[in-house]
Structure 1
């Protein structure tokens, strides 16, 4: 069973019924809970998300955008992250929307690394999840590893705006 979206995917993820339900539950959360949950998933999955290094080409593609974000005040960084999750049409969301899934994963890996060191607003790290988000994070952790990875990939892939979509 595939989760239907109005937007083409840059990947061919297999979405099981359990992942489909988790996607629906994720979409019902507030954007702050979504961001905090994304951090929790990232922490739980660790190196399982990208079995191979991001590669110089992917990092090069993301560096301009990432450094632009790094230079923003904290409140603008948060607004940018919200914009990606809400698929708000902004220059950053459009640029992100052009990335492949692996490049989007490299983007978030670097962003989360910077959150960990305080170079970017650590809002995803410090946000206290609501009870609904906490329950969903526990439910996601009980999924099979490949389902957890597919879910994280789907979330990251759907963010931003696909500027070339009809």
Structure 2
């Protein structure tokens, strides 16, 4: 195949277009569906379905205190906090999240999922199944290439929480 300017533009647009389209679908999900999709994404990291995010690049030490606060909450309060993050509620803890850098927010969710796996934070019930819409979004994320997955994950979590400076 010969590459011309128009094929390259079309190919680039097709690849870049799948992230915004999938992100739009993600943003239209209910709060609990968003949490479910994030759980399944992070649960599948390392199993080949989703590429693990490079959390070492993020300054997770800035989120350690907040993660400790989440761990100290009751299971119902932990779930309420996660819902508050997704819904951009204005609470002291969501404000602490809101001022984190984009990479730290991505690392925060990765660490939160690890805490869920370890049983330190309320997890998704083992019988939980994604809704049809959430399953479609999850499949769309899995189909993305590594860089696109990270971009989509970062874009999905950066707007969460409450940023008092925004």
**TM-score between the two structures when normalised by the length of structure 2:** 0.80
Larger relative contact order (CA 8 Å, sep ≥ 6): 1
Using the alignment, how far apart are the partners of 2:137 and 2:110 within structure 1?
Answer: 22
- Secondary structure at 2:84's aligned position in 1? helix
Which 10-residue stretch deviates more, 153-162 or 137-146?
A: 137-146
Matching of residues 88-99 of structure 1 within 5 Å:
88-99=89-100
**Residues 94 and 161 in structure 1, CA contact (< 8 A), matched pair in contact too:** yes
> What per-residue deviation string (whole Å, max 9, x for no partner) do you get for residues 59-100 of structure 1?
332121111111111111001001101111111111101100
Output the CA distance in 1 between the equivalents of 2:109 and 2:137.
Answer: 21
Aligned residues: 148
CA distance in 2, matches of 1:19, 1:124: 29
- Counterpart for residue 48 of structure 1: 52
What TM-score does the superposition give when structure 1 sets the normalisation length? Answer: 0.80
CA RMSD of aligned residues (A): 2.1
Q: Could you tell me how far apart the structure 2 residues matched to 1:49 and 1:124 are? A: 24
1:34 aligns with 2:34: yes
Runs of 5+ in structure 2 lacking a partner?
A: 1-14
Contact 1:97 1:159 in 2 (8 A): yes
Question: Which residue in 2 is equivalent to 1:149?
Answer: 150
In structure 1, runs of 5+ residues without a counterpart are: 1-14
Deviation, 1:114, is 0.8
Distance change (3 Å), C-alpha of 1:126 and 1:94: farther
Alignment-derived partner of residue 129 in structure 1: 130
